């Protein structure tokens, strides 16, 4: 192996090329560097990149890994050797992007067309509303979102509608019927929801052994990062993909498994050791990011969990301050304390940047007071939450045009845009078209093209629908002769969308126009692809995650939820709302999820590189009610030598540590 700066354990994992390998890597132990070094070693052994499949959970992580691999090969190899290594093809994927590649060439086996659309959350809800209309269900009595969530659960454990109907009764029987109708609607629209991407890939692998064997033969080396976050459907997919060569490497940390609400299954690791017997195990325990005080605190908290691999994490970094536990009276004081500490640290060291600070909390609703304090103190911040660029109305509208142009069966996208901008095509007209289409098993687009045949529509409505049909037909022709960024311009212009925004001529409309310009900028990198640019662009948009949009914000403090922070690190980290019934949550003890809550605590402690601040209040206003919650039990699990805690005896006397905590809220005497 070429000279590098890997430690002996990292080097052992990087040099192990053949056979199953389990890398147990705790927080910031250079697992990504180890994994990329291993990929580079595989490529250096003259393996083509087309034989490698490395799977991650975010596009951001995948892109960073590929850049590291390319740099390692450039550093290690001569120009002559580099010419023999092909790394042009993508070989590092997210689970969904890799499965999409498989589905584009295989989905016709289950009677979909290869130009299928991908539905996001709002599209799925629109499809579910169509289900409710067809089944004549009252949305006031039955919540469509609840049924979407149940369907999501079933797909992630590989249960199809027929299985649900055969094995469940009572209320779940209705879920099964809705599930079946929902899948039928998707099929009619030639569309997949996000969970179908993995669900259908596994279905095809199970029902068509020749396809499974083809891909298992092709990919000689499988690597999986963040294996503790995989759910059952992902486990099945990995197992089938690696069944031929069994050269599989997974990176796993039981203490960072915090996604059980997404059906992440910590027991997948037990199945791995059983499915790939004789797997070599390498432990990475040296942390290269956080100080030893922070690591010890994280270890003291997580050691109260029962099911986990024991570890001996250590760091050689110079010690900074103790962890600060700050008790204040109410949330405004908590927020002001955070703002004051940031201002003080910026004043003490002019090299300190705002991006060196992160403020974490349990849910997005908890950021209000903190934002107000930052604004009052003239501190620039960036909040990372669910309202993403691609979720903005104007972006979704133009994307709906693009999706419908690409996939004419996509009635959900059609219904979104047929009267946007307003074309005097009202909901009464649309409802008549829907019923007419359902009665004759036609798509709505087929009716749009033959609107004169629909009985009961006024002459004005038919004229307006025909005008819309002409716009789409013209854009479809243009799609074949122009590049993507110019085509987006045409869609915005010829759909009258730009005219609608310019007509309002206010600040909001100008911001929306700027957002559309940004969409065009994103699209420009696809301009050199003439045949596949539209579906590749739509796929990238569909698969983008919150964390993918986080860049190096040099002039902003980052605010985000604890779950969103998992892949990130900061010099200074503030954790707000560290209180019982919030963190851990009030439901965690009832549901038996205290161990996952403690793993979440381990994650947020190890986000800090140098300084960690844990804050709790005597009283706070939440959802229009005052709460007086005791401090989190996790604070009582950190020893005195690691943390400066006000009234430390209070914690020691009132917290037994771990699962034995049973005090009721009304028993606390403040």
The most confident of the ranges 123-132, 582-591, 601-610 is 123-132
Q: 563 pLDDT exceeds 90?
A: no
Tens of pLDDT, residue by residue over 269-292, are 777 878 888 889 898 888 777 888
If asked whether residues 85 and 207 sit together in one domain, one would say yes
Where residue 488 falls among pLDDT bands split at 50, 70, 90? Answer: very high
123 vs 45, more confident: 123
Q: What pLDDT shows up at residue 265?
A: 64
**Least reliable range by pLDDT among 241-255, 319-333, 366-380, 542-556:** 542-556
Shared domain for 572 and 653, answered yes or no, is yes
Residues 213 and 261 reside in one and the same domain: yes
Q: Are 393 and 299 found together in one domain?
A: no
The rounded radius of gyration (Å) of the Cα atoms in the chain is 27
Strands (E), 318-416: 323-328, 357-361, 381-383
Cβ partners under 8 Å of residue 500, min gap 6 = 421, 422
Same domain, 423 and 456: yes
For the domain that residue 301 is a member of, what is the CATH number?
A: 3.40.50.300
Q: How much is the average pLDDT of 296-325?
A: 79
CB atoms within 10 A of CB 111: 8
448 falls within a domain: yes
150-154, 246-250, 442-446: the lowest-pLDDT one: 442-446
How far apart, in whole angstroms, are the C-alpha atoms of residue 298 and residue 303?
Answer: 8
| Interval 475-487: pLDDT, tens | 999 988 888 999 9
* 112 in any annotated domain: no
The per-residue pLDDT for 650 is 43
pLDDT at 161 over 70: yes
Q: What is the pLDDT of residues 242-263, one digit of tens each?
A: 999 999 999 887 666 655 555 5
| 64/185 same-domain check | no
Structural domain includes residue 640:
yes
**What pLDDT, on the 0 to 100 scale, is given for residue 658?**
36
CATH number, domain of 401, equals: 1.10.486.10
Mean residue pLDDT across the chain:
83
Quickly state the pLDDT bin for 664 (edges 50, 70, 90). Answer: very low
| pLDDT for position 163 | 92
Give residue 652's pLDDT: 43
| Per-residue model confidence (pLDDT) at position 112 | 94
Quick one: pLDDT band at residue 390, thresholds 50, 70, 90? confident
Whole-number percent of the chain with pLDDT over 90: 34
Q: Do the domain assignments include residue 272?
A: yes
d(CA 413, CA 403): 7
Mean pLDDT (whole number) for 502-527: 84
Residue 299 shares a structural domain with residue 174? no
Other residues' Cβ atoms within 10 Å of the Cβ of residue 476: 13
Instruction: Please check whether residue 379 lies inside any domain of the structure.
Output: yes
Contact 623, 305 (CB under 8 A): no
Which of the listed residues 543, 561, 594 is the one where a domain comes to its end? 543
- What pLDDT sits at residue 305? 84
195 occurs within a structural domain: no
Ordered alpha helix ranges (H), 55-195: 59-76, 79-83, 95-106, 121-135, 144-156, 161-167, 171-188
How many other CB atoms are there within 10 angstroms of residue 143's CB atom? 11
DSSP character string of 119-144: E-HHHHHHHHHHHHHHHT--TTTS-H
What pLDDT, in 10s, does the model give residues 36-51? 899 888 888 877 788 9
As a whole number, mean pLDDT of residues 645-662 equals: 42
Could you tell me the two tokens for 137?
């269900």
Higher pLDDT, 332 or 308: 332
Contact 568, 366 (CB under 8 A): no
What confidence category does residue 533 fall into, taking pLDDT thresholds of 50, 70 and 90? confident
Spatial neighbors of 257 by CB under 8 A, at least 6 apart, are 228, 229, 264, 266, 596, 599
Query: What pLDDT band is residue 667 in, cutting at 50, 70 and 90?
Result: very low
In whole angstroms, what is the distance from residue 654 CA to residue 288 CA? 35
Cα distance between residue 115 and residue 407, in whole Å: 6
Instruction: Please tell me the total count of domains within the chain.
Output: 4
Average pLDDT, integer, range 414-427:
91
Q: Sorting pLDDT into bands at 50, 70 and 90, what band is 466?
A: very high
Q: Is residue 110 part of a domain?
A: no
Structure tokens at 261: 């609400």
The reported pLDDT for the residue numbered 416 is 93
Q: How far apart are CA 648 and CA 644, in angstroms?
A: 8
Domain containing 437 equals: 389-543
Residue 624 to residues 335, 365, 620, 621, 627: CA-CA distances in angstroms? 18, 12, 10, 6, 10
CATH number, residue 156: 1.10.10.160
pLDDT (mean) for 348-364:
88
Q: Which pLDDT score is estimated for 61? A: 78
Residue 669 has pLDDT above 60, yes or no: no
Residues 296 and 277 both lie in one domain = no
Does 169 or 451 have the greater pLDDT score? Answer: 451
**pLDDT band for position 448 (cuts 50, 70, 90):** confident
- Residues 471, 529, single domain; the answer is yes
Q: Which of 543, 561, 596 is the last residue of a domain?
A: 543
pLDDT at residue 170 above 80?
Answer: no
Q: Are residues 437 and 529 in the same domain?
A: yes
The rounded distance, in Å, linking the Cα atoms of 409 and 114 is 12
Is the pLDDT assigned to residue 155 strictly greater than 90? yes
Query: What values do phi and psi take at 46, rounded to 5?
Result: 70, 20
**Helix 196-207 × helix 95-106 angle, to 10°:** 50
- Maximal C-alpha separation, the chain: 81
Q: Which residues are catalytic?
A: 31-32, 225-226, 256, 607
What pLDDT, in 10s, does the model give residues 59-105? 777 888 888 888 888 777 777 666 666 666 668 888 999 999 999 99
3-state helix vs strand vs coil in the chain, percent to 5 = 55, 15, 30
What pLDDT sits at residue 549?
A: 52
Quick check: is 104 in a domain?
no
Cα–Cα distances (Å) from 434 to 133, 317, 643, in that order, read 10, 65, 64
Indicate if 400 and 370 belong to the same structural domain: no
Do 315 and 280 lie in a common domain?
no
Q: pTM of the predicted model, to two decimals?
A: 0.76
For range 640-667, the mean pLDDT? 49
Given a contact cutoff of 8 angstroms between Cβ atoms, the answer to whether 41 and 73 are in contact is no
Does a cis peptide bond (omega within 30 degrees of 0) precede residue 158?
no
In percent, the amount of the chain with pLDDT more than 70 equals: 86
Upper half-sphere CA count for residue 539 (Cβ side, 13 Å): 22
pLDDT of residue 248: 94
Q: Of 149, 166, 189, which closes a domain? A: 189
How confident is residue 309, by pLDDT bands cut at 50, 70 and 90?
low
């Amino acid at each position: 192996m070429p000279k590098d700066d890997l430690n002996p354990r990292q080097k052992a994992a990087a040099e192990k090329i053949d056979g199953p390998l389990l890398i147990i890597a705790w927080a910031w132990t250079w697992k990504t560097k180890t994994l990329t070094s291993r990929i580079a070693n595989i490529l250096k052994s003259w393996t083509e990149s087309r034989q490698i499949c490395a799977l991650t959970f975010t596009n951001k992580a995948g892109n960073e890994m590929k850049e590291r691999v390319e740099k390692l090969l450039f550093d290690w190899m001569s120009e002559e050797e580099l010419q023999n290594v092909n790394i042009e093809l993508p070989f590092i994927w997210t689970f969904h992007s890799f499965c999409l590649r498989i589905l584009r060439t295989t989905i016709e086996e289950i009677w979909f067309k290869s130009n299928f659309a991908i539905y996001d959350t709002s599209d799925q809800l629109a499809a579910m509303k169509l289900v409710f209309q067809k089944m004549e269900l009252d949305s006031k009595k039955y919540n469509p979102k609840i049924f979407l969530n149940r369907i999501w659960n079933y797909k992630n454990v590989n249960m199809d509608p027929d299985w649900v109907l055969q094995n469940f009764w009572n209320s779940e029987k209705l879920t099964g019927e809705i599930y079946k109708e929902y899948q039928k609607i998707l099929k009619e629209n030639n569309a997949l929801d996000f969970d179908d991407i993995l669900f259908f890939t596994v279905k095809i692998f199970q029902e068509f052994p020749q396809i499974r064997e083809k891909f298992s033969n092709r990919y000689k080396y499988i690597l999986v990062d963040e294996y503790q976050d995989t759910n059952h459907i992902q486990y099945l997919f990995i197992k089938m993909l690696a069944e031929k060569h069994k050269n599989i490497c997974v990176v796993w940390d039981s203490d960072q498994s915090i996604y059980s609400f997404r059906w992440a299954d910590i027991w997948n690791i037990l199945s791995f050791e059983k499915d790939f017997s004789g797997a070599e195990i390498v432990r990475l325990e040296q942390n290269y990011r956080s100080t030893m005080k922070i690591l010890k605190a994280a270890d003291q908290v997580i050691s109260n969990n029962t099911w986990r691999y024991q570890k001996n994490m250590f760091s050689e970094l110079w010690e900074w301050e103790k962890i600060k536990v700050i008790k204040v009276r109410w949330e405004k004081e908590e927020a002001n304390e955070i703002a004051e500490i940031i201002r003080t640290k910026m004043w003490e060291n002019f090299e300190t940047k705002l991006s060196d600070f992160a403020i974490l909390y349990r849910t997005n609703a908890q950021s209000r007071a903190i934002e107000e304090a930052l604004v009052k103190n003239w501190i620039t911040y960036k909040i990372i939450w669910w309202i993403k660029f691609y979720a903005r109305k104007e972006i979704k509208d133009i994307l709906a045009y693009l999706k419908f142009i690409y996939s004419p069966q996509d009635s959900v996208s059609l219904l979104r845009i047929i009267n946007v901008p307003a074309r005097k095509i009202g909901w009464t007209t649309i409802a008549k078209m829907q019923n007419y289409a359902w009665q004759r098993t036609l798509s709505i687009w087929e009716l749009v093209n033959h609107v004169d045949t629909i009985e009961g529509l006024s002459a004005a409505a038919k004229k307006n629908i025909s005008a819309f049909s002409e716009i789409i037909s013209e854009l479809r022709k243009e799609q074949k002769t122009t590049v993507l960024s110019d085509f987006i311009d045409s869609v915005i212009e010829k759909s009258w969308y730009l005219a609608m925004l310019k007509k309002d001529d206010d600040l909001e409309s100008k911001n929306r126009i700027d957002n559309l310009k940004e969409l065009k900028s994103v699209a420009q990198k696809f301009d050199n692809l003439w045949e596949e640019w539209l579906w590749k662009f739509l796929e990238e948009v569909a698969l983008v995650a919150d964390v993918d949009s986080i860049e190096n914000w040099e002039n902003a403090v980052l605010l985000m939820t604890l779950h969103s922070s998992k892949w990130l690190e900061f010099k200074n980290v503030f954790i707000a709302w560290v209180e019982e019934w919030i963190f851990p949550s009030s439901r965690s003890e009832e549901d038996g999820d205290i161990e996952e809550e403690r793993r979440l605590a381990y994650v947020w402690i190890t986000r800090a590189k140098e300084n960690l601040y844990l804050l709790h209040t005597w009283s706070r206003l939440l959802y229009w009610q005052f709460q007086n919650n005791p401090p989190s039990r996790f604070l009582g699990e950190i020893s005195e030598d690691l943390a400066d805690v006000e009234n430390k005896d209070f914690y020691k006397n009132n917290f037994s540590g771990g699962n034995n905590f049973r005090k009721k809220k009304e028993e606390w005497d403040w």
